[in-house]
Structure 1
Amino acid sequence: MTIEVTSTSEEGYVTRSRVGDFELTVDATEEEGPSPNGTLLADYASCFIPAFRVGGQKEGFDDLGRVDIDVEGDLDDDDDLEAIRFHILVEADLEDDEFDAVVERAEGICHVHSALREELRAEITGETGAF
């Protein structure tokens, strides 16, 4: 399988990308869209949530309810990401060891997690019974 993306910048720092039938606007100045780093963090969380749900199913939790991820990314002096933290809020009430097992499964399933260099993978904390 191949993913094809066409990205175009007509001027300045705004890039419009066509991903299949969808358009995504990314702007390094954050005037017309999120920054590349912000987009990466959103993409990571958007990949991790379904991976977390599949991990939950594999651990015997078919209904996790609502799942939110609050993401923080630390930038160095060159605006490069140097650390990422996820705080996951889960509606289902899981024991700590159950939550950890679901996270471990999700880490093995999330393609963005796998694609990032190990030192940049998210440090994950969470709360269950959160909603």
Structure 2
Amino acid sequence: MIQQFIELGQGYGDVYELCELIKTNEARFHEAFIFVSTKNEQKVCSLAVAFKSVGESKFMPVYVCREGIPYNEDKRAKRIGLFEEALSAIGKQANTLEIKHSSFFKEPTQFYQYLIGILRMSHYIPPMH
């Protein structure tokens, strides 16, 4: 199984697109994630959804809005609320994970490889067979 992150943006208007993907691909839904990271002592989050592959394909897309949303456990950002509402509408919820910020990596590709490794080791997504 090949997993690939598809970046929609920084978490502004693209959160609405991510929510629409959840609604229109309910049958393909696999897992949802809130990735929390820290940069310059400020917590931010990425919202992501993994979908099952189509037909005989061995490709699992993981759509993500990367690090554009401030994260505060006491006061949820409106965009996180929209994401959680979209998931709740299909009877699902997100897994929250603390991760390294993407600025820790030289290139976004390395960051996404790091995330795929975490998700595979935690059994959130299938191994690469």
Q: TM-score range by the shorter chain?
A: under 0.3
Between Structure 1 and Structure 2, whose CA radius of gyration is higher? 1
- Structure with the bigger RCO (C-alpha within 8 Å, sep 6+) is 2
What is the TM-score when the length of structure 2 is the normalising length? 0.25
What is the TM-score when the length of structure 1 is the normalising length? 0.25
